[in-house]
Amino acid sequence: MIRIIKADGVSEKDFIAEVEKRSGDTDKKVTAIVSEIIENVKNGGDKAVMEYTEKFDGTVPEYYEVPRDEINNALTEADPEFTNALLNAMQNISEFHNRQIEQSFLDTRPDGCILGQRVRGLDRVGLYVPGGTAPLFSTVLMNAVPAKVAGVREIIMLTPPGKDGRPNKDILTAAAITGVDRVFMAGGAQAIAAMAYGTEQIPAVDKIVGPGNIFVATAKKLLYGKVDIDMIAGPSEILVIADDKAEPVLLAADLMSQAEHDKMASAVLITTSEKIAEETSAEIEKQMVSLERKEIIRKSIDDNGAIIVVKTIDDAIELANRLAPEHLELEVQDPLQYIGRIDNAGSVFLGKYSSEPLGDYYAGTNHVLPTSGTARFFSPLSVNSFVKRSQFIYYTEDALYKAKDDIVLMAQKEGLTAHANAILKRF
């Protein structure tokens, strides 16, 4: 049963410290295993990838690269209602992310100098999509759509094969709808290494995005620098702030919507009402028995969940900013009045009709969010995640002459006389 904590200045801080331990340093054994996989894929290419695929997925894929016809067929054969839902979600995601497009600019000064910035999409991006018990086709939408909006030239998708050696049909349908260019069947750390270094068949990419287990996350962390990544993601988390008018039935449902992701997921309710706390705890137990992933939910709720009772909403917001959650729901009267005070959260959901799954699938905001308190300094995946910027400078002779004494002085102060020399030689 989920624990109930009465905030006293110590108990709630002890819980926060406990939650933060979930995302400490990567397990050394995992790091060693992943490092070996990366090295073998770097040297062995496709052969190594296929050997690991058979070892870890227990199957040999029917084909390595999924034929274009197979991708197109997945779309034509899909349930029309499912296809329509994907198209509606993609439209919302596209509209939201089109608002994020950053423009290049040119600043022409009166003295003839020109400064500017050029913004353009990355050349090639790799998208990793997990399979397993919860094939995340929504991941395709949330990653491929902003990449396309940003102007990425080519999107490569890697996803593990199913037990039958074939790709998941729903994932292929999402790939077809969003315009993913090529799809390969490979999973785990070996897939991440293949995209980072490139193999005989899989081209090297500039950036790798998409969720995965601890081996995938560790591979991304180790390969950062060789290739860019979206973020180092930890277990999923939700924090709900509720007043005494909130509905325990809804609070319980929303908490479990994230607890079902992973046994390490964190679901926390902060409320000003002891009655709401008790009723929500009872409602969790009531609803859990009918949910398919109840074993995962039970472990997550028991180990990493809590209901914290505070005196005021101000206290709740202070705690929320300390936790910096991936998802934050404000189940309070007039939630809009508080949005300006939520400084640390990946995505904020306002009011009883803005349940977290709305953001996971449909509203248009991105569901790739900072976890483990990193919302203090990281942002959600966006169009800006898929672009690069370069600067340019044009100075006239007169402008450089006016600036040369300042530049030379600063260079000499730093002891970099060759810097100073490069300016002086022009005069």
Question: Is-contact 174 141, C-beta < 8 A?
Answer: yes
- Which positions ≥6 away from 415 have C-beta within 8 Å? none
Q: With helix as H, strand as E and coil as C, how does 294-335 read?
A: HHHHHHHHHHHCEEEECCCHHHHHHHHHHHCCCEEEEECCCH
Q: In Å, what is the CA distance from 391 to each residue of 104, 116, 118, 147, 411?
A: 10, 6, 6, 22, 21
Rounded distance between C-alpha atoms, residue 88 and residue 81, angstroms:
11
Q: What are phi and psi for residue 388, nearest 5 degrees?
A: -130, 155
Q: Which of 280, 217, 278 shows the shortest CA–CA distance to 251?
A: 280
Paired sense of beta strands 3-6 and 306-309, if any = parallel
Residue with tokens 């300094």: 377
Residues that are catalytic: 326-327
54 half-sphere exposure, CB direction, 13 A CA radius: 9
The closest alpha carbon to 219, from 52, 406, 392, belongs to 52
- Rounded to the nearest angstrom, the gap between the alpha carbon of residue 135 and the centroid of all alpha carbons in its chain is 16
CA angle, corner 211, sides to 383 and 34, nearest 5? 125
CA nearest 378: which of 355, 354, 350, 347? 347
Evaluate the CA torsion angle 64, 67, 71, 76 in order and state its sign.
negative
Q: 418 CB contacts (<8 Å, ≥6 apart)?
A: none
Tokens 């799809």 identify what position?
183
